[in-house]
Amino acid sequence: MGFLESASEITPDKEKELVVYGLNDQFEAGLAAFEKLVGCGWKNVAVLAGGIDAWKRAGLSVSGDRQRVPLPTGKFQADADKSVVRWVGRNLVNQLDGTAGLSEATIELHDGRLAGGKAVVDMNSIICQDIEDSKLAKVLIDHLITDDFFLVDRFPTATFVLDSAQTIENATPGSPNYQIEGTMTLRGLSAKIQFPALLGFSETSIALQAQFDFNRVSWDSKYGSGHVYEALGQHLVNDFISISFQLIAPL
């Protein structure tokens, strides 16, 4: 049932006084409800100043059947079929993107707060999604798995271990709410990286997502790098690779 249908069920008389509210004045849910109702013919609509937070601070009672959901604690295994790791590589005039599969990934929580985690990427599962010719795509992948880039025959996995996670104050839903620091191991070399991430929950699952760039040269991937070689011309390849991931773990 939609919002207007619910309002009509509660008070079908559009002349009757109706008060709407959101959580507080930081958000616009109350104002949006007001505008929608007035736009659909309700005559006496008001917005509760300060929202439900102000109502509670005033010591006024609230009622309802919503139960407080306990915050999850424990180590949760990500679903490899629902989770995804994406990559983007670039040079001065082109970019290529694709995915890589997860061998395993975990999200560790303590009272609903991010406390740890680990992801292991199968480097032999790298695919390119934007080259339609399968033979050309294979040429690219065959190059990426060599010593020029990721040395996959010697190091078939890449690993990220979360070392610390600091909450971002006043983060709103849909924006990063943690600053993560961790250790990424690639080509047998380990180095620290930092990036913002978003942790969220549904009734049945945990979602952790982020996007960041890393400098491949720091992990000894030097092919086409202007930091290492001169006069590369058309063989120049950007040092930074973009990664985005979404881990989905059932509760």
Give the per-residue pLDDT at 246.
98
> Lowest-pLDDT range, 16-25, 189-198, 229-238?
16-25
What are the chain's domains? 3-57 (no CATH), 74-250 (2.40.128.110)
Measured CA to CA, the distance from residue 17 to residue 76 in angstroms comes to 48
Kindly state the greatest CA–CA separation across the chain. 77
Res 69: pLDDT? 65
What is the pLDDT, as a whole number, of residue 152? 98
Measured CA to CA, the distance from residue 64 to residue 150 in angstroms comes to 56
184 pLDDT band, cuts 50/70/90, is: very high
Q: Which of 19-33, 127-141, 222-236 has the lowest mean pLDDT?
A: 19-33
Give start and end residues of each alpha helix (H) in 79-164. Answer: 134-144
In percent, the amount of the chain with pLDDT more than 90 equals 70
Q: What pLDDT score does 68 carry?
A: 62
Q: How confident is residue 27, by pLDDT bands cut at 50, 70 and 90? A: confident
Residue indicated by tokens 């390119």: 128
CB 167 within 8 A of CB 177: yes
Average pLDDT over residues 163-185: 96
- Each residue's pLDDT tens digit, 212-237: 999 999 999 999 999 999 999 999 99
Task: Output the pLDDT for position 22.
Answer: 85
| Res 166: pLDDT | 98
CA dist., res. 220 & res. 115, Å (int): 30
Considering the chain, what is the average pLDDT of its residues?
Answer: 93
DSSP 8-state assignment for residue 144: H
pTM value is: 0.80
pLDDT in tens, 41-99: 889 988 889 888 888 899 888 887 666 667 899 999 999 999 999 999 999 999 999 99
**Mean pLDDT in residue range 168-197:** 97
Contacts of 186 (CB under 8 A, 6+ apart): 150, 155, 158, 216, 219, 221
What pLDDT is stored for residue 4 in this prediction? 84
CB contact burial 173-191 (16+ within 10 A = b; e otherwise): eeebbbebebebbbbeeee
What percentage of the chain has pLDDT greater than the value 70? 98
Q: What is the mean pLDDT of residues 88-114?
A: 96
What does the CA dihedral 147, 149, 153, 155 come to, rounded to 10 degrees? Answer: 110
